[in-house]
């Protein structure tokens, strides 16, 4: 279902696009998408949640219909979410998927007076780095070289046919059906001179620089509100993490409930939206 309302929120000089479903006077639930996705990736889950809540989905900077930035870093994404929470101006629940799950968690830690609960959908970071990925001076040099080259890139490659764009996304998300991929691609792309290209800023592919996934879990100690941690049962390219990595990370959270959605991979809310919505609604109502 397409959103019922749209607005732009100013954040650090950019316009952040937000779309809404449900009663504007209802208790707000804020949705944060993952890398290279967009707000309408929640277009099946959001209407189900909107039967009880005001649902506000964010296009992260550089995604969807939000403005592009000169550079991207994690704290600015967190600040964008906090500015949306301030714009709503009442306590909220926050839900995020993948990168958006990690950022929703950090936003809840950064603005505990504005967040009552957080739902993280398979957004617990990558596995530990391989030896070849360790943050050495050479890796920093490679990162800076890639950033320099990326500055010359103005857009993704274009596709002469929309179905080629859909096929490309389908190769990355083989678990999603063709109708959903067409909807997702249509709202995540634009047509220019008869060709199609993604709306997202390609500079985000060179974003955070060398770092260690081991830094993720200690940050969870700052979370003061309850978390629902959702993962799928089916391993795919992006998740879920094996138990020997995920369990110690979640152990850092003082109040966490865990749910596994059977038959879903990393894109839990797209593959099993009704089951995901049910788990979220039960947690928020508890």
Q: What is the pLDDT of residues 87-129, one digit of tens each?
A: 999 999 999 999 999 999 999 999 999 999 999 999 999 998 8
Q: Tokens in use for 268?
A: 């839990």
Q: What local confidence, expressed as pLDDT, does residue 130 receive?
A: 79
End-to-end CA distance of the chain: 27
Query: Is pLDDT larger for residue 211 or for residue 284?
Result: 284
Q: What is the pLDDT of residues 37-48, one digit of tens each?
A: 999 999 999 999
Start-end of CATH 3.40.50.1820 domains in the chain = 5-128+212-285
* Separation between Cα atoms, residue 273 and residue 114, nearest integer Å: 26
Mean pLDDT of 204-230: 86
Q: Which of 161, 204, 203, 200 is nearest to 182 (CA)?
A: 161
- DSSP symbols for 141-194: HHHHHHHHHHTT--SPPPBSSHHHHHHHHHHH-TTS-HHHHHHHHHHHEEEETT
Q: What local confidence, expressed as pLDDT, does residue 239 receive?
A: 85
Q: Is the pTM of this model over 0.85?
A: yes
Q: Map tokens 């390219």 to a residue.
A: 237
Superfamily of segment(s) 5-128+212-285: Alpha/Beta hydrolase fold, catalytic domain (3.40.50.1820)
Q: What local confidence, expressed as pLDDT, does residue 172 receive?
A: 85
């Amino acid at each position: 279902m397409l959103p019922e309302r749209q607005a732009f929120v100013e954040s650090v000089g950019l316009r952040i696009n937000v779309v809404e479903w449900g009663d504007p006077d209802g208790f707000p639930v804020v949705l944060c998408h993952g890398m290279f996705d967009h707000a309408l990736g929640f277009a099946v889950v959001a209407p189900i949640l909107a039967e009880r809540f005001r649902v506000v989905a964010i296009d992260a900077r550089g995604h969807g219909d939000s403005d592009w930035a000169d550079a991207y870093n994690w704290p600015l994404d967190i600040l964008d979410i906090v500015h949306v929470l301030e714009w709503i101006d009442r306590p909220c629940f926050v839900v995020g998927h993948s990168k958006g799950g990690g950022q929703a968690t950090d936003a809840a830690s950064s603005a505990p007076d504005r967040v009552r609960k957080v739902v993280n959908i398979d957004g617990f970071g990558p596995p530990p780095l391989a030896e070849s990925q360790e943050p050495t001076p050479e890796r920093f040099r490679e990162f800076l070289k890639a950033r320099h080259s990326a500055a010359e890139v103005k857009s993704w490659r274009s596709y002469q046919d929309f179905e080629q764009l859909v096929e490309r996304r389908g190769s990355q998300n083989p678990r999603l059906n063709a109708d959903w991929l067409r909807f997702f691609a249509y709202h995540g792309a634009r047509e220019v001179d008869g060709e199609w290209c993604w709306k997202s800023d390609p500079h985000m592919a060179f974003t955070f620089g060398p770092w260690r996934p081991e830094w993720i879990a200690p940050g969870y100690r700052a979370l003061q509100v309850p978390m629902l941690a959702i993962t799928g049962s089916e391993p795919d390219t992006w998740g879920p993490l094996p138990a020997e990595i995920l369990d110690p990370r979640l152990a850092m959270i003082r109040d966490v409930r865990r749910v596994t959605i059977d038959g879903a991979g990393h894109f839990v809310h797209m593959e099993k939206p009704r089951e995901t919505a049910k788990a979220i609604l039960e947690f928020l109502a508890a």
